[in-house]
Amino acid sequence: MQPRKFIRGMKRSRFGGFLLAIIFICGGGFGLPALGAPTKSPEDQAFQAAFVRFQLSQYALAETHFKDFLAKYTNSPHRADAIFYLGRAQLEQSKYPDAIDLLQKSLAESDGLKHEYLFWIAKAQSASGNLTNAAEGFATVAKEFPLSPRRLEAAYDQAEALSQLHDWRAVTNLLQQTNGPFQLAATQDPKNEFAAMGWLLLGEAFLHETNAAEGEKVILGFDAAGLTQDLHWRRQYLLARLQLAGGRAEYALTNSTNVLELSLTSPHQAASVFLQGQILERLGRQADALAVYSKNFVDSQPQEVQRDALTRIIPLTIALNPLPQAIQMLQSNIDQHPQTKAQDLARVSVAELYLKASVTPPGSTELSVPPETYTNLLAGALTNLNMVITNFTNSPLLAKARLDRGWCDWLSGNIDTAKVDFQEAADHLPASPDQAAARFKLADTDFVLKDYIGAASNYGVVLAQYDKTPEVTNSLFDLALYQIAEADIHNGDADGARAAVARILRQYPGSYFGDRGSLLRGEDLNRKTDYPMARKVFLDMEATSPHSPLLPEVDFAIARTHDYEGHWDEAIAGYQQWMTNHLGDSLMPEVEFHLAYAYDKARLTNEALAGFTNFLAHFPTNKTFAPWALNEVADYYYNQKDFISAEKYYQELFKYTEAGDVAYEAHFWAGKSALAGQRSGDARVYFSDLVKLTNAPQALVARAYFALSETLFQQYVAGQTNEDYLSEAIAAISKCTNGAPTNTIAVEALGRMGDYYMHWADQNPPTNYAIAKQMYHMVANFPPNSANVAARDQAEFGLGLIAEREHQVEAALDHYLRVLDFDPDRFNAYWIDRAGEYAARLCEDHQLWDRAVKVYDRVLAAVPALRPMLEKKIIADQARLEARNR
C-alpha cells in the first residue's frame, strides 16, 4: 500500500498537515514485515526508513534520508511520495524557500498528488509571510480540485490568508459565495472543523466591515453541535463582540457570561475578562468594569495581559475616585501584588499620578483636599520610581522612570541629581515628546547650574530634532528659544540672542519672558488666530518702546497679522510702510518677498509679477527667497502660455541647487515649457538632464522619465521613419516600471507602453500586437488598490482595440464591456464614454440593437451629461429593433 493512500486518514500537524493516524503493522504498507512475509527490497526499505523518521517528527533526519533516496533511486515508483515528504520535512523545519522551490519544480512528476503539492506550497508561502501567493495557491486547490479532501481546508486557508492581509471585503466575498468552494465543501461536510472555522472567519470579517448584524446572523446560523471546546469559545466570544459592535450591549453582556464559562485556557480567560469589561464600560457600569478588569491583574497572568488590564484599571479608578484616593487605592493594589509581572508599568503609572497631584494646586476643583495631603506626594513617587529603576533594569520603561525621577528631584530642588536622570532619559528614550522633554529639562539643569554653553547646546538639540513634531514645537520651542537667547546673553553672544528672539517673533507665540513678554504674548495670540488682539499687543509695544531694536520685527509682525487674516489690502499697506520706515534693515528681503506674495494672494497678478521681479533685481543671491521668487515668475509665464519666458526663469532656478525640490522641479517644468512650445528636442534635453541628477527626488525622476518617453514618442510620431525614437521612448518609460511595478505612475507607464507598441504595430503590418497586449493585460490584472480606475479602463480599452484589429469581435466587445462594468462610486467618465461608443458600434455593426441600447443606458448611468446625444442613438436602435421584430 502506497503512503499516499493513507492521506485521508491523517490528522492536522503544525501546518495544518498530517501525522499518521496508524502505525504500519503486520507487514502492511512500509511497516515491519509479518512473520513469513517476503523481505522488502532495499528500495522499499530506504523509503520506509525515511518515512518513519518523518512520522516520528525527526524532520532533519527525514530530509537527509529522502534526499539520499531520491539521489539513489531516480526511477522509483515512490519518487512523487519521496519528493512530497521531503518538502514537508523542509517545511516543518521552516525551510520555506527550499520547500517551495522543491515542490514547484516537481509538479510535473507529482502524479496523483498534485493537489497536495499545490496545497503545501501555499502552506509554505503562508508560513513565510507571502500571503498573496499563498491565497492564490489555496484558491487553485479549492477551485481546480473539487474532489480533493483538501478542498474545504484550502478554501478556509485562502480566506485566512486574505484576512491576514486585512482584505476583509475579499474574505466576505469568498466565504459568502453560495456556489463557491467553501460553501460547497462546507455543505458536504458541515461538521468539519474547517467549516466551523470558515463561518467564524466570515463573522469576523463582517465585524471588521462594520456589519455586525450580518455577522451575528452568520454565527447563529451554523450548527454549533459537536464543536471543540476551543471553537465553541471562539464562537461565543465573537458573538459577544458582534453584539457589542451592533449596539446590543445588554445581549453581549449576557453572552459574555457564557464566554467566561467556556474559557478554559489562560489566554481565553484573559480575553473573555477584557471583553466583559468593555461591555460593562459601554453600559456605563464603570465600577463593575473595574472589578472585572482587576481579574486580569493577578500574578498568574502573563505580563502583556496585566499591562492591558492596567490600561483600563488606572483610568477607571481615577474616574471613580478623587485623585488622592485613587492613588491610595492603586498603590495598595500594587503593594498587594509584589510578584506581578507588570509591576514596572503599575509603579511608573502611579508615580506619575503622584507627580500630577504634587503640581496641582491644593483646593483646585479636581482635588479639593487639604494641603497637608500633598506633603509626601513626591516621596511616594520616588519610592515607586526607585523600585522600578533598581529592580527592573531590563524594563522598556526604565528610561521613562529616569525621566520621572528627574522631575521629582527637580521639584525637590536637587538639581545635580536631576541632571543625571535627565541625561540618562535623554540618551535612552526613543525619539518622542518624552525624549524632547528629557533633553529640555537637561538644558534647564545646565542653565540653573550656570553651564550656559551646555544649556544652549541642549536647547538647540530639541530645536533641531523635533522641528517636525507639533506636540513639541507647540509646547517647548518658544521657551527653548527664549532660554537660548538668555544663555547667549550670559555668554556675550548678542547676535545669537537677537537671532533667537527674532525667530520667536516670526514663528512662535510665547509667554511673559522678561522684557520680551509683550512681544511673545502677541505672537501667542497670532498662533491662536486672535489677530486683532495680537495687533493691539504689538501696537502697545510700539507705543511703550518706540526706540526698541526689535521695532522692525514688531512692524513686520503687525503686517503679518493682516496677512494671516487674509486682509490683503491691509497687509500690502503694512509691508509697504515697513519698507519706507526700515530701509536697509536685515529683514528687507523677507518683507519685500512677502509683499510680492501678498499681491499674488490678492490676485493682483501684474503687481505680484513686478514685486517678484524687483525682488530678484534687489536680492539675486538671497538663497532663502530668490528661488521661490524665480519659481513664482516662471509659473506666471507658464500659466500665461508664454513658454519661452517661463523656460528662461526655470533655467535660472537650476543654479540654486541648495534650494532642494524647487530647483529640481524647475528642470521638469522647463521641459514642459519647451514641449508646450513645440520644441520637443529641447524638452528631451531637460528631461534627460533631470533623470541624471543623483539627488533629485525619486518621485520626480519617475515623472521625468515618463515625460521623456512622451517626448520621444512625439518625435517618433512626427517622423515615423526613425524607429530609434520609439525604442528610446520604451527604454525611458521602462524606468518607471522597474523596482516598483505596482505604484501609480508605474501602472500608468505600463499602459502607455502598451499604446506605444500598439501604435508601432499599426504602422508596421503585419507585426502582431503581442507585446502591447502583454502590457495592457498586466495593468488590467493588477489588484484594484494598485492601479487607478483610469489606468485599468485604458488598458481594457486598448485590449479591445487590438482585438478589433485582429478581427476578434467578441473579445473586443468583452473588453469594452469590462470598462462599463464600473463601481458607481469609483469610475472614469472619459473611458466609459469611449468604451461605450466602441461597444455600441460593434453591436450596431452586427445588428444587435437591443445590446447597443443596453450599452448606451450603461454609459448614461455614469455620464448623464451625454443624454442629449445618446438618446437619439437609443431611439434609432429601438426603432431598428422594432422593425426587425415586426
Residue 807 CB coordination number (10 Å): 8
Query: What are the C-alpha distances in Å from 310 to residues 281, 320, 355, 683?
Result: 15, 15, 18, 63
Cβ contact 729:772 at 8 Å: no
Instruction: Flag whether 546 is in a domain.
Output: no
Cβ contact 139:119 at 8 Å: no
Cβ contact 690:664 at 8 Å: yes
Chain segment 714-730, per-residue pLDDT in tens: 888 887 667 888 888 88
pLDDT of residue 654: 87
Instruction: Flag whether 2 is in a domain.
Output: yes
Helix (H) or strand (E) holding 710: helix 698-718
Where among 74, 97, 128 does a domain terminate? 128
pLDDT of residue 518: 45
Instruction: Flag whether 158 is in a domain.
Output: no
Q: What is the CATH number of the domain that holds 119?
A: 1.25.40.10
Which residue segment(s) compose the domain that 62 sits in? 1-128
Instruction: Flag whether 495 is in a domain.
Output: no
3-class state of residue 324 by DSSP: helix
Where among 128, 148, 175 does a domain terminate? 128
Biggest distance spanned by C-alpha atoms of the chain: 120
Assign 3-class secondary structure to 578-632: HHHHCCCCCCHHHHHHHHHHHHHHCCCHHHHHHHHHHHHHHCCCCCCCHHHHHHH
Query: What are the C-alpha distances in Å from 81 to residues 47, 103, 114, 636?
Result: 9, 11, 11, 74
Where among 803, 824, 845 does a domain terminate? 824
**CA distance between the termini of the chain:** 71
pLDDT of residue 740: 54
**What is the model's pTM?**
0.50
Instruction: Flag whether 204 is in a domain.
Output: no
Instruction: Flag whether 301 is in a domain.
Output: no
Instruction: Flag whether 816 is in a domain.
Output: yes
DSSP 262-307: H--SHHHHHHHHHHHHHHHHHTT-HHHHHHHHHTTSSTTS-HHHHH
Map grid coordinates 509626601 to a residue. Answer: 376
How many independent structural domains does the chain possess? 2
Assign 3-class secondary structure to 638-677: HHCCCHHHHHHHHHHHCCCHHHCHHHHHHHHHHHHHHHHC
pLDDT of residue 28: 39
Cβ contact 458:443 at 8 Å: yes
Instruction: Flag whether 771 is in a domain.
Output: yes
- The three cell numbers locating residue 806: 485582429
In angstroms, the CA 737 to CA 550 distance is 55
- The three cell numbers locating residue 768: 502582431
Chain segment 222-242, per-residue pLDDT in tens: 888 888 888 989 988 999 999
Degrees (nearest 5) of the Cα angle 255, 256, 259?
Answer: 100
Is residue 448 classed exposed, middle or buried when 0-12, 13-18 and 19+ CB atoms within 10 A define those classes?
middle
Which residues in the chain come in under a pLDDT of 50?
1-37, 362-374, 509-515, 517-518, 520, 524
